[in-house]
């Protein structure tokens, strides 16, 4: 989807016009990217976004109902800019019914788990499968182990994350929204991995 201009009608079951718009590329120098955050409730999806967009961290952030939206533009070293249109979804299981609304047509999916919670890791795997089945086939996926600052409470080994990500062709990183560790790196790495529109 990132390169919807060169691959117009790839994604199945939706309007092509919609696609080219929200997969979003304006031109080779200024990319527009729809990104969706998925993952179990309470793993810190909203915190990652807030840290990335506003540079803030609130240990008692609000429950996300439905989904919330924020956007942030970053500049890369090769002087291209990438505008992330970020959909932060609700984590509770039943809200998965509404998730397709948000991940459909997304160019990037960031699947987040909590390194202190094996259940959230299992849930992340569920999301990866769901995306592989029903997401955009060209979607760039990142697996993120959040709460890396709680290393002493870690229950998901780094290697598990790396292995799973490698097996599924994903980019992997451990972050901490609390300490801001790797948050910007996460988005920069994603930006680098985006399929670029053919330079005209």
Q: Which of residues 56-75 bind other proteins (CB under 8 A)?
A: 58, 60-71
Q: How far is the CB of 133 from other proteins (least distance, A)?
A: 8
User: How many residues of this chain interact with other proteins, rule: CB under 8 A?
Assistant: 39
| Consecutive H or E run containing 141 | strand 140-146
Nearer to other proteins, 32 or 147 (CB): 32
Residue in this structure with the two tokens 């029903």, named with its chain if needed? 134
Residue 197 as a binder of other proteins (CB under 8 A): the answer is: no
Of these, 2, 11, 19, 146, which contacts other proteins (CB under 8 A)?
A: 19
Site for other proteins in 87-126 (CB under 8 A): 87, 90-95, 97-98, 101-102, 105
Buried residues in 57-83 as b, exposed as e (16+ CB within 10 A): beeeeeebeebbeeeeeeeeeeebebe
Sheet of strand 81-89: strand arrangement? 67-75, 81-89, 30-39, 108-114, 140-146, 171-174
| CA atoms of 145 and 110, how far apart (whole Å) | 10
Residues within the interface to other proteins (CB under 8 A) = 17-22, 24, 26, 32, 34, 41-42, 58, 60-71, 83, 85, 87, 90-95, 97-98, 101-102, 105
């Amino acid at each position: 989807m990132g390169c919807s201009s060169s691959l117009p009608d790839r994604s199945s079951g939706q309007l092509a016009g919609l696609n080219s718009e929200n997969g979003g590329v304006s031109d080779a120098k200024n990319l527009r990217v729809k990104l969706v955050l998925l993952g179990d409730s309470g793993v810190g999806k909203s915190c990652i976004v807030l840290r990335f967009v506003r540079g803030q961290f609130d240990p008692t952030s609000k429950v996300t109902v439905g989904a919330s939206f924020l956007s942030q533009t970053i500049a890369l070293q090769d002087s291209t800019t990438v505008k992330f249109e970020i959909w932060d979804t609700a984590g509770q299981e039943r809200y998965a019914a509404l998730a397709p609304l948000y991940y459909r047509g997304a160019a990037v999916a960031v699947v987040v788990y909590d390194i202190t919670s094996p259940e959230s890791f299992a849930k992340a795997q569920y999301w990866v499968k769901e995306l592989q089945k029903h997401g955009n086939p060209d979607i760039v996926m990142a697996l993120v182990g959040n709460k890396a600052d709680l290393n002493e409470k870690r229950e998901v080994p780094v290697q598990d994350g790396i292995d799973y990500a490698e097996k599924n062709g994903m980019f992997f990183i451990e972050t901490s929204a609390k300490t801001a560790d790797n948050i910007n790196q996460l988005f920069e790495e994603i930006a680098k991995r985006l399929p670029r529109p053919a330079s005209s």
